[in-house]
Amino acid sequence: MFKLAGTYIYKNCANLLSLLGVAPLFILFQEGGFQYIIPLIIYNNILDDLDGFIAKKLKIRSQYGSNLDNICDAVAHSIIVISVGIHFGGILTLFSVVAVSSIILRITNRFELGYDFEGGTQTNELMRHILFVILISELGEFNPSSILALVFMLNSISMLITIPFPFMLVHFTNNPTSLTLFNLSLILVFLVKPLSYIFGGAFFLTYIYSFIKVILEEVMRITKLAGSQKI
């Protein structure tokens, strides 16, 4: 019996991590809970990376586990986006609904079309953008609503693009060491907030460059396809 229970726990430890990544996020809907938004984003990012790493390392990957991970990601990221929209209010609430819609559509594409987004997803990138904007706004003592609205809109578009984004920093986390350093950098900017200008700039610039490059390539592809059909 104990052996059977041990085997079950072993095979589902990555799934447990996926669920644990979501559980504490409901704090955000409690009174005063938004003050924990930054550590919760970092916590969720670490657990999201860890469950995939554990599943791969222990060779316990499964379609069920992959589906559960995708659902947990969608729930967690939607909670974070909605809580940000509600906290800052105004037009940002509407933009947060648009962003959540893109998250749902992206997760639906994963299930329906079998898209594989190895090496990080655009929904994770949105979480990191939110993290840096809030940290920088706290340092500069300004209302981040307008910048967050732009971040939500841009990421709402990029989340619907199935073409991999080149040059994203997360794409360089292809081994345990780089993945650990990547997550440690997020913890570091939380502890030493002025570093968010440097790290945030690196994340935003690589994202914008990748976004523009992918959009231009897609426009050129469509233009070329339209031209060939006319011939």
> Which segment of 4-8, 34-38, 50-54, 114-118 scores lowest on mean pLDDT?
114-118
- Per the structure, the complete domain to which residue 10 belongs is given by 2-230
**What's the rounded Cα separation, in Å, for the pair 54 and 52?**
6
The CATH number of the domain where 131 resides is what? Answer: 1.20.120
Closest CA to 152 of 207, 97, 196: 97
Q: What is the pLDDT of residue 65?
A: 81
Would you state the pLDDT for residue 57?
80
Please name which of 194, 171, 174, 199 lies closest in space to residue 184, comparing C-alpha atoms. Answer: 199
> What average pLDDT does the segment 165-189 reach?
84
pLDDT of residue 195: 95
Interatomic CA distance for residues 15 and 10, integer angstroms? 10
Q: Which DSSP symbol is given to 33?
A: G
pLDDT above 50 for 119: no
Instruction: Give the mean pLDDT of the chain.
Output: 87
pLDDT at residue 114 tops 50: yes
pLDDT of 118: 47
Least confident residue range of 2-11, 17-26, 62-71, 145-154: 2-11
Predicted TM-score of the model (pTM) = 0.89
pLDDT at 167: 79
Above pLDDT 70, what percent of the chain? 91
Nearest by Cα to 111 from 142, 67, 151, 52 = 67
The mean pLDDT of 141-148, rounded to a whole number, is 95
* pLDDT score, position 115: 55
Q: How many domains are contained in the chain? A: 1
**pLDDT value of residue 136:** 96
User: What band does 25 get if pLDDT is binned at 50, 70 and 90?
Assistant: very high
